[in-house]
Amino acid sequence: MHTVWVRLNAVVFFGLSALLGFSVLAAISKIGHANRHVPDVKTLKLKRLKSLKSHGGVDRALLNFDLHVDLNPAFHWNIKQLFVYVVASYKSDKNKNNQIVLWDKIVEATDPPESKIIKQDSIFVKYALVDQGADLRGRDVELQIMWDHMPLTGLLYMGEQDKSTVSSFTLPYDYTSGR
Amino acid sequence: MIKDMIDKQVLELKKLWMNKRQLLFQLLNLAMIVFSALMIWKGLMFVTKSESPVVVVLSGSMEPAFQRGDILFLNNAVEQVGVGDVVVFKIKDRDIPIVHRILKVHTKPDNTVELLTKGDNNRVDDRGLYAPGQLWLKREDILGKAVGTLRYVGMVTIALNDYPVLKYVLVGMMGLFVLTSKEG
């Protein structure tokens, strides 16, 4: 019985299968790309601690940092955007580890190549470094840049700055309100 | 033309009703399709340890990463979720799970975590979305970590949700189809 319905069904089904097939092909075409092409992190370090205060019972630090990174290598044709973020991690008495995003940026694949190079000094944090308690004073804080590859279709995967190049700093032992 | 088609379908159904053996065969066919779909879903649930291994993005709070209608594949078999991961979580007494990114992770000495999330496209973090008085998400609030995406496929789901009538029409049509279409 070759009614319109049967034909419509066949066309839709074939279309969907083709779409799925191409999506899978697109996804597997770039497997392993992240191992060979890693963004080049030149600098990520504290520039200036603006303040370290007690803010409603919890400690809060505001700071500026320098960031020089070339993100171009991470892009390929199945990447829609890169989500780049700077993470501060430290240990406290209450917690084994604390990881806090200080700053993030969405870099889209359609952006021109030169804007995929971040070369900025003294970036002010987007999100303050806030502890769960009052335990930031004198803590060693590591700054690390990480990025999330968001594909057009397929698998999401993460990347991060090599641990050996990660910079750290020690917060002052007393509250400061900056210079 | 439509009346013609409906007449044809009715005729087919009548024919099928007379031929009990054929009817049984078609019903079994229908059951097989339904059960294989169910099996795939349950199998995915088992592998990913997530109560909902595939979700459709319903809001624009993660744009431009995910748009309305994108499909996300979740994995909940990961022991720990990390900062920057896109996760789907559920708030108590709320039906619809939320897809957002982890902004803070506080790991306790016993390895439990307290998390704070935020949508890429939102200006503030998610504290306002959590249950009243809730400051942190726990690991068990998380339905899974987004590991893969397919675009646009979820549009069908959104359409079905917005126009519930469409659901019955579609299911009815599919059922009719399987019943009346013949092999070969």
ipTM: 0.85
Q: Does B83 touch chain A (CB under 8 A)?
A: yes
DSSP A101: E
Contact: A97, B107; criterion CB under 8 Å:
yes
Min Cα distance B106 → chain A (Å) is 4
Q: How do the pLDDT tens digits run along chain B, 184 residues long? A: 778 877 877 888 888 888 888 888 888 988 998 999 999 999 999 999 998 899 999 888 888 889 888 989 999 998 889 999 999 999 988 888 899 999 999 999 999 999 999 999 898 999 988 988 899 999 999 999 999 988 888 888 888 888 888 888 888 887 777 777 665 3
pLDDT tens-place string over residues A17-73: 898 888 888 888 888 888 888 898 999 999 989 999 988 889 999 999 999 999 999
Q: How far apart are CA A104 and CA A98, in angstroms?
A: 17
Contact: B104, A98; criterion CB under 8 Å:
yes
Q: How far apart are CA B69 and CA A77, in angstroms?
A: 22
- The pLDDT of residue A33 is 85
Min Cα distance A157 → chain B (Å) is 7
The alpha carbon of A52 is separated from its chain's Cα centroid by a whole number of angstroms, namely 25
Q: Which residues of chain B neighbour A6 with C-beta distances below 8 Å? A: 181
Closest to B120 (Cβ–Cβ): which among A27, A83, A156?
A: A83
| Catalytic (active-site) positions of B | 61, 100, 126
Contact: A96, B111; criterion CB under 8 Å:
yes
Mutual angle of helices B164-180 and B20-48, in 10-degree steps: 130
At A142 the three-state DSSP class reads: strand
**Nearest to A141, CA basis, from A91, A66, A86:** A91
Q: How far apart are CA B107 and CA B29, in angstroms?
A: 51
Report the residue of A153, A158, A160 to disrupt the B interface, i.e. the one with the largest count of B CBs within 10 Å: A153
CA angle, residues A31, B65, B97, in degrees to nearest 5 = 110
Q: How far apart are CA A129 and CA B138, in angstroms?
A: 21
CATH classification number, B54-153, choose in 2.10.109.10, 3.40.50.1000, 2.60.40.420, 3.30.360.10: 2.10.109.10
Burial readout A57-92 (b: 16 or more C-beta within 10 A, e: otherwise): eebbbbbebbbebebeebbeebbbbbbbbbbbbbeb
Q: Does B13 touch chain A (CB under 8 A)?
A: no
